[in-house]
């Protein structure tokens, strides 16, 4: 019986330490991984990032998988709101990276990208993702 109680206490401590919430510091960077071409979901990620940028959090948005379609000028009629918001964010200091493998997969060329977008590579994406205290979210 004593062993069972000890195991339950240990399990409770372990679960409690795993479930501890992480609180963002005042200027912690935010890395938004945007994988969708669904207009509503894309807006959610972009607007969330915008709100945090306005609160002093450096923002990187990574367009990958179907998210690369948002960065293509050829899709301006399908994503006018998202493309306008991305341009405004870049104008305010946000970095928008785009996945080169996903571009190739979905037929998006570098010459078709919105102005200011940067084609991701390990030297750009890694430091943004792994910078100390960076928080990440995915849509």
Residue 2 lies in a domain: no
What is the distance between the alpha carbons of residues 30 and 49, in angstroms, rounded to a whole number?
Answer: 7
Query: What strands lie across the sheet with 95-98, from one edge to the other?
Result: 118-119, 95-98, 59-63, 30-34, 135-138
What is the distance between the alpha carbons of residues 67 and 54, in angstroms, rounded to a whole number?
Answer: 23
Residue 12 lies in a domain: no
Residue 108 lies in a domain: yes
Give the model's confidence band at 16: pLDDT under 50 very low, under 70 low, under 90 confident, else very high.
Answer: low
Quote the pLDDT of residue 15: 63
The residue ranking higher by pLDDT, 87 or 19, is: 87
**CATH number of the domain within which 60 lies:** 3.40.1260.10
Residue 49 lies in a domain: yes
* pTM strictly above 0.95: no
Phi, psi of 98 (to 5 degrees): -135, 140
Domain span including residue 98: 27-138
Residue 4 lies in a domain: no
What is the distance between the alpha carbons of residues 97 and 88, in angstroms, rounded to a whole number?
Answer: 15
What is the distance between the alpha carbons of residues 72 and 61, in angstroms, rounded to a whole number?
Answer: 15
Q: Kindly report, residue by residue over 98-114, the tens digit of the pLDDT.
A: 999 999 999 999 999 99
Residue 69 lies in a domain: yes
CA atoms within 13 A of residue 13's CA, in its CB half-sphere: 6
User: How many distinct structural domains can be found in the chain?
Assistant: 1
Q: Kindly report, residue by residue over 32-91, the tens digit of the pLDDT.
A: 999 999 999 999 999 999 999 999 999 999 999 999 999 999 999 999 999 999 999 999
């Amino acid at each position: 019986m004593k062993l069972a109680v000890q195991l339950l206490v240990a399990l409770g401590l372990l679960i409690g330490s795993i479930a501890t919430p992480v609180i963002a510091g005042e200027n912690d960077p935010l890395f938004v991984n945007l994988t969708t071409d669904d207009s509503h979901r894309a807006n959610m990620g972009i607007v969330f990032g915008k709100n945090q940028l306005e609160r002093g959090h450096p923002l990187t948005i990574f367009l990958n998988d179907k998210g690369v379609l948002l960065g293509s000028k050829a899709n301006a009629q399908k994503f006018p709101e998202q493309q306008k918001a991305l341009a405004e964010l870049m104008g305010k200091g946000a970095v928008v990276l785009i996945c080169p493998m996903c571009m190739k997969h979905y037929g998006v060329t570098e010459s078709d990208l919105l102005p200011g977008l940067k084609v991701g590579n390990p030297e750009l994406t890694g430091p943004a993702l792994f910078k100390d205290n960076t928080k990440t979210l995915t849509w």
